[in-house]
Amino acid sequence: MRFTEDHSFALFGKVKTGIGQGAGFTGLEWARSQFVEHCGIDPHPGTLNVAVEDASHQESWKAIRGRHGLTVRAPTPDACDATLYPLSIGHTRNTGRGIVAAAVVPHVPGYADDQIEVIAAVNLREHFDLDDGAPLGLRVHQRQAIGAAIFDVDGTLLNSLDGYHVAASRATAEYGYTVSLDHVRRALNTNQPFWDFIIPEGEPRDDKRIGELREATMRHWPDALREVVRVLPGVGDALERLKSAGIRLAIYTGSGGESFPPLREAGLMELFEVIVTGNDVARRKPDPQGIVRCLAELGLRPDDAAYVGDSCIDVGASLGAGVMSIGVLTGAGDSASLSVAGADRIAAHVGGIPGLFELNQVS
């Protein structure tokens, strides 16, 4: 979503300094965990306060608050509940993409109709270089009608990153190198060469050494796959719900399909109408070639599909293909990096994906 046209906003407002209570609320673990689960936002401390001065926009905001939001439940009577309204926010003078965010309305008497408190995974003032009085546009998210959902696999449908970690750790043990899960996440999220994170300074980084490490990792992969890689919780149910609602399903993975066995064993591969792997394309993500090929085989336009992935390079491929970009937090990317990369939506996991779409049950 680009914030360049006035009509693309549901609301307008201006930045204002708040009273500083937002940092305490967003820092509460019970609140933070529900922000993540409900809308994929691990919040930067505090809220951005937006003053809604125009009477018509105040009425719009009041109407939005009258709709069903996402409830954040307080664990004790002395704390207050709140309602979340997922949205995208952007500077009206900025031609870039908006940031996934949410309005937070605490359940307190007399809460003002002319203010909106916004949470996001990044510091919005710094990201947009905002001073008090800066104009902002907010578009409240609504469920989208789409024809197809295209899925990444590793880190999205499967916990493959755990398998990569095990295989690489075993491969590097004889060299005395250390592989952390964070190394795996960073490499997959940014497309940086994995072995640059692993081989210490002063050690050989030539093609021979890297080739040896890759070969050893692939030798250990079958055992790692069998021992630790599983279908992520909620994936099967989510795919079945989407399929039952008439949304067509496809896969585009940058790998060669080496991690497909758990999906086959769970009986999920048969749900996918189109499957494209890295062996089928000449250019890797973030190039959109694989998504474009899926669209061609499905016979759909970009604006009728979404791509679901766990990394910034997945977001980049989505944007390049012109499809809706959905990030999930089960793999390489966190909510801050996926937000900055330009994801249109973020979900904690694939189990939350059906809630983003219009699901019209088909017979």
* 3-class DSSP assignment, residue 207: helix
Residue 160 pLDDT = 97
Q: How far apart are CA 348 and CA 338, in angstroms?
A: 12
Arch. (CATH architecture) of 6-140:
Beta Barrel (2.40)
* 3-class DSSP assignment, residue 105: strand
Query: If we measure between CA atoms, which residue out of 144, 179, 122 comes closest to residue 353?
Result: 144
222-245 mean pLDDT: 97
Q: What angle do CA 263, 269, 275 make, to 5 degrees?
A: 115
Residue 23 pLDDT = 67
**What top-level class would CATH report for the domain 160-228?**
mainly alpha
Model pTM score: 0.93
8 Å CB contact between 322 and 207 = no
271-299 mean pLDDT: 97
Query: For 222, which DSSP code?
Result: H
Query: If we measure between CA atoms, which residue out of 26, 20, 70 comes closest to residue 49?
Result: 20
Q: How confident is the model at residue 22 (pLDDT cuts 50, 70, 90)?
A: low
Query: For 248, which DSSP code?
Result: E
pLDDT in tens, 334-362: 999 999 999 999 999 999 999 999 887 54
Q: How confident is the model at residue 111 (pLDDT cuts 50, 70, 90)?
A: confident
Question: Residue 46: what are its φ and ψ, rounded to 5°?
Answer: 95, 175
Q: How far apart are CA 253 and CA 268, in angstroms?
A: 15
**What top-level class would CATH report for the domain 148-156+231-356?**
alpha beta
Q: Is the pLDDT assigned to residue 70 strictly greater than 50?
A: yes
Residue 131 in tokens: 């001073």
Residue 170 in tokens: 């075993």
pLDDT in tens, 176-228: 999 999 999 999 998 888 998 899 888 878 889 899 999 999 999 999 999 99
Question: Residue 195: what are its φ and ψ, rounded to 5°?
Answer: -70, -15
Q: What residue ranges do the domains of the chain occupy?
A: 6-140, 148-156+231-356, 160-228
Looking at the chain, the whole-number percentage of residues with pLDDT higher than 70 is 94
139-150 mean pLDDT: 93
Q: 118 Cβ partners below 8 Å, 6+ apart?
A: 47, 48, 49, 50, 87, 89, 101, 102, 103, 104, 124, 138
Query: If we measure between CA atoms, which residue out of 336, 274, 341 comes closest to residue 312?
Result: 341
Residue 92 pLDDT = 58
Q: 30 Cβ partners below 8 Å, 6+ apart?
A: 74, 75, 79
